[in-house]
Amino acid sequence: MLLAATPLVPFDWHRIIWTPRTPPAYLGEIVFRCVVMYFIIIIALRVTGRRGVRQLSIFEISLVLALGSAAGDTMFYGTTSLLYAAVVFVVVTGLYWLFNLLTRRFPRLSDWLEGKPVLLIEDGRIKLENFKQLRLTQKELFGELRQQQVEHLGQVRLAYMEATGSLSVYFYPTTDPVQAGLPIRPERCERLLRRADTAGPHACYCCGHVQHLATDTPATCPGCLRDEWLPVSTAERAG
């Protein structure tokens, strides 16, 4: 079959500009394909959450994916014409500007597509109902906090997961007394306790709730009903 195929002629300008045996109406199908795939990309990015998005909006990522695919196919496959790729670029770019316009005019649409800032930590405690909605893991959250030079949750007054996927942290004033909180350094989290070795304040490893535990006495967190604890940290925040 390969030997019987029509040989590919390099720099065949008719083939480069317009793929042979293709009716002009196929350009309309390309527009339809672009619209469908753009919506599929938007929905897929919305469903999979915010991890890895960072400073790019959901529309910018969809633009990169769609145009990258169109450009790559056109540069590599000899049967894909430049005109088809040009139509893809025009339609996808138009959809990008259209969605930006719609999200500016309709804030609720923007909230659904790109998401709203979500409160993750308040007064040193994790807001579990919000935390679970974002499909984050505790390891990911603690890693983000450590990049903000957070040593324990008692240093954090508020923390928001932004629509871009970045974490915004508000600290207590340095003039305020240091709040006791759940330590998030990896070496401190290796040994979780179900019974306190010594009496004193301990933090729930799940939500960060702090309470006094008696020696060798099991306790359940009143907030999340978990029974894994760590001795609190009262380290001051550097800077």
| 60 and 134 both lie in a single domain | no
Which has more confidence, 165 or 151? Answer: 151
Please provide the average confidence, as pLDDT, over all residues in the chain. Answer: 83
User: Residue 41: inside a domain, yes or no?
Assistant: yes
| 103 and 199 both lie in a single domain | no
**Any idea what the Cα angle at residue 12 is, between residues 9 and 18, rounded to 5°?**
125
Q: What is the dihedral of CA 171, 173, 179, 184, to 10 degrees?
A: 30
Is-contact 114 53, C-beta < 8 A?
Answer: no
| 137 and 74 both lie in a single domain | no
Q: Give the span between the Cα atoms of 18 and 84, in whole angstroms.
A: 8
Say what the pLDDT of residue 219 is: 92
Which has more confidence, 194 or 135? Answer: 194
Say what the pLDDT of residue 1 is: 41
| 29 and 99 both lie in a single domain | yes
User: Residue 236: inside a domain, yes or no?
Assistant: no
Range from 84-93, 166-175, 220-229 carrying the lowest mean pLDDT = 84-93
User: Residue 96: inside a domain, yes or no?
Assistant: yes
Residue that is last in its domain, among 96, 114, 132 = 114
| 164 and 216 both lie in a single domain | yes
pTM above 0.75, yes or no: no
The domain of 190 spans 118-231
| 103 and 197 both lie in a single domain | no
Range from 52-61, 78-87, 91-100, 134-143 carrying the lowest mean pLDDT = 52-61
Residue that is last in its domain, among 114, 144, 172 = 114
CATH number at residue 145: 3.30.240.20
**What backbone phi and psi angles, to 5 degrees, belong to 148?**
-95, 15
Q: What is the dihedral of CA 205, 207, 213, 215, to 10 degrees?
A: -20
Q: What's the residue count for the chain? A: 239
| 97 and 184 both lie in a single domain | no
Confidence of residue 211 (pLDDT cuts 50, 70, 90): very high
**What backbone phi and psi angles, to 5 degrees, belong to 184?**
-120, 5
Domains identified in the chain, total number: 2
DSSP H helices in 115-151: 128-133, 138-147
Q: What percent of the chain has pLDDT over 90?
A: 36
Tokens of 222: 């009143």
Is-contact 178 154, C-beta < 8 A?
Answer: yes
User: Residue 237: inside a domain, yes or no?
Assistant: no
